[in-house]
Amino acid sequence: MFRKELKVLDCTIRDGGLINDYQFSDEFVKAVYASTCQAGVDYMEIGKKLCVSDTYTREKFGKWNFCDEDDIKRVVDSYEGDYRPTLAVMYDVGRVDTDSLAPVDQSVVGMIRTACYVADIDKGLDLVKRSKDQGYETTINIMAPSAAIESDLIEALQQVEDSPEVDYLYFVDSYGAFYSEQITSYLNLFKKHAPNKELGFHGHNNQQLAFSNTQQCIIEGVNLLDATVNGIGRGAGNCNLELLLNFLKNPKFDARPIYKVIQEQMIPLRKEIEWGFNDIYGISGHLNQHPRNAMKLRSNAKNKDHCYDFLVDSLADS
Amino acid sequence: MFRKELKVLDCTIRDGGLINDYQFSDEFVKAVYASTCQAGVDYMEIGKKLCVSDTYTREKFGKWNFCDEDDIKRVVDSYEGDYRPTLAVMYDVGRVDTDSLAPVDQSVVGMIRTACYVADIDKGLDLVKRSKDQGYETTINIMAPSAAIESDLIEALQQVEDSPEVDYLYFVDSYGAFYSEQITSYLNLFKKHAPNKELGFHGHNNQQLAFSNTQQCIIEGVNLLDATVNGIGRGAGNCNLELLLNFLKNPKFDARPIYKVIQEQMIPLRKEIEWGFNDIYGISGHLNQHPRNAMKLRSNAKNKDHCYDFLVDSLADS
């Protein structure tokens, strides 16, 4: 598949950090950054930009939950090549301080992505506006649309359409619940009610469909595609960046640096933390449930593979 | 997705046996058989039906490479429920003895599937004819069409169309190479040149696309779908039966017995043998290569995760 408008956003550090409270070594973050530069990726999301507080400390929650300019600069300065992706950070509704946001020309960051549920769309759009006021490229990532009431989702989409500050509107398969026909059906809703917005997609791999659903989104006209190195991410993880770059024929992309960072950094990391498809996440995805119960079970060494028990319990709960 | 014509064929033992030379315990085979009965699966392929020889012995290559009637009967008789799938076995061109094939009414088997490459289509169709002469349902499984010259493939398809003995024509993604748009494109070729044949699909999961490509086949009108419990199968394995049954809304299917046999049989087995997606198979699938080099690397404990080295070597070879 080739379309010149297609852009790829690597969110390895941001989504991967949800597994380990952003306790990545500097060496790891630098290696991932360098690989995305060499691979020709368009955007690289390096973490969340949340507020430090007494209970939400840098020590416990990791520096990439806060993304101070100096921390990012050290990563950027460690790479010597010419091409660099635009750096992105993520805002969560209710946990950010927009007053401290520097204007874009004083920052190494170029894009701010705001994640919110349908119910928080007004708060989300306020953050987008404040980001745009400071000159950043912006996205609004509507989480868990598979669990939203359709009329609420439509209202949110119309609000996004009426917000000129939003550059990209993201369709997010938070629960890894969608099949390809549903991807098409929901995107038709997005295109109908927000016809002037460029679309993005962020998948989860609960049912081994993150990559194929990303392909389906491309077919349906989505131009900004999220992926992570080796599919790292919360629970079942995300669309594998290397598979996506293999699929895209745009000559600006090169998957080889991604395989190199997998071999050198991800393989050792897999011994410390777990991500990716397994039977438990397959069930939570199929049942369109938040992965929290699945993740809780996976952290229990004794029962983590008891998929039949998990299915029976989940059906009883639903 | 619901369509009353959709049928599911479990090939857990037959494709899974390619990993361990069919050295499954009787308890394991009986448990898988019982689970397919309880799940309402339409067909269950219990092994290959090849010839014993001095070099190809039952001891070394396992009883499910040969599928003697008595061995199958012991499995069938171990289950007490009413509903049973039609049992299938597989023929490989050049390694079978059709003279010893009992008529269908003297066998517990009801379907014989013949696997062949495009180049062997005449030999394959001869085996199909001999199977049909004895009363069996038949399929011809054309392997590795992604590596065939299109004019040769078209000729083979036309020969299948002209063979009334073929009940199902299988499209087989042997290398796990196809993306969904290619699935559609190849199926259009199949439908154009064999318009009167019912179609089947057998996928491999090299690029995490076995399940999604099976969905794409359903959308394109394929009615017989291969899958295996937990995706077990050679290399990256197959479409996961439990995911497929979750997806299919046909009320005759029930995924719960499949999750039960995963919990009780597959999880312990995963400690002994490996199957499923990994970086190495992702590369061989993307490059449309036979998985033999990938499987060889995976058997080398020291280098099995060296995906960058494998990619560079594979590109140099291609």
- What's the mean pLDDT in B260-281? 97
Chain A touched by B283 (CB under 8 Å): yes
Interchain contact, A243 vs B208, CB within 8 Å? yes
Give the homologous superfamily in CATH for domain B7-269. Aldolase class I (3.20.20.70)
State the virtual CA torsion across A13, A17, A22, A24 in degrees, nearest 10. -60
Residues of A in contact with B267 (CB under 8 A): 305
In whole angstroms, what is the distance from residue B305 CA to residue B317 CA? 19
Query: What ipTM did this prediction achieve?
Result: 0.95
Angle at which helices B180-193 and A210-219 cross, to 10°: 70
Handedness of CA A176, A181, A182, A185 (dihedral sign): positive
Nearest beta carbon to residue A256 from set B208, B219, B308: B308
Q: What percent of chain A has pLDDT over 70?
A: 100
Name the maximum alpha-carbon separation found in chain A.
Answer: 56
Nearest beta carbon to residue A263 from set B246, B255, B308: B308
What is residue A95's predicted lDDT score, i.e. its pLDDT?
A: 87
State the virtual CA torsion across B288, B292, B296, B299 in degrees, nearest 10. 90
Q: pLDDT for B67-94, tens place per residue?
A: 999 999 999 999 999 999 999 999 999 8
Closest by alpha carbon to A233, among A7, A9, A13, A8? A13
What is residue B249's predicted lDDT score, i.e. its pLDDT?
A: 87
- What's the mean pLDDT in A179-204? 98
Nearest beta carbon to residue A308 from set B1, B247, B263: B263
- How many other CB atoms are there within 10 angstroms of residue A7's CB atom? 18
**pLDDT tier at B205 (50, 70, 90 boundaries)?**
very high
Nearest beta carbon to residue A259 from set B240, B260, B279: B279
In whole angstroms, what is the distance from residue B89 CA to residue B81 CA? 22
Q: How many CB pairs under 8 A join A and B?
A: 108
What is residue B95's predicted lDDT score, i.e. its pLDDT?
A: 87
pLDDT at A283 over 90: yes
- How many other CB atoms are there within 10 angstroms of residue B191's CB atom? 17
How far does the CA of residue B104 sit from the closest CA of chain A (Å)?
36
For A70-74, A288-292, B10-14, B94-98, which range has the lowest pLDDT when averaged over its residues?
Answer: B94-98
Angle at which helices A121-133 and A150-161 cross, to 10°: 20
How far does the CA of residue B54 sit from the closest CA of chain A (Å)?
41
- Locate the domains of chain B by residue range: 7-269, 279-317
Could you tell me if A160 and A191 are in contact, meaning their C-beta atoms sit under 8 angstroms apart? no
pLDDT at A5 over 80: yes
What is residue B98's predicted lDDT score, i.e. its pLDDT?
A: 87
Residues of A in contact with B275 (CB under 8 A): none
pTM to 2 decimals?
A: 0.96
Interchain contact, A179 vs B1, CB within 8 Å? yes
Residues of A in contact with B219 (CB under 8 A): 181
For A:184-223, CB contacts with B below 8 A are 205, 207-213, 215-216, 219
Interchain contact, A181 vs B209, CB within 8 Å? no
Nearest beta carbon to residue A212 from set B209, B260, B277: B209
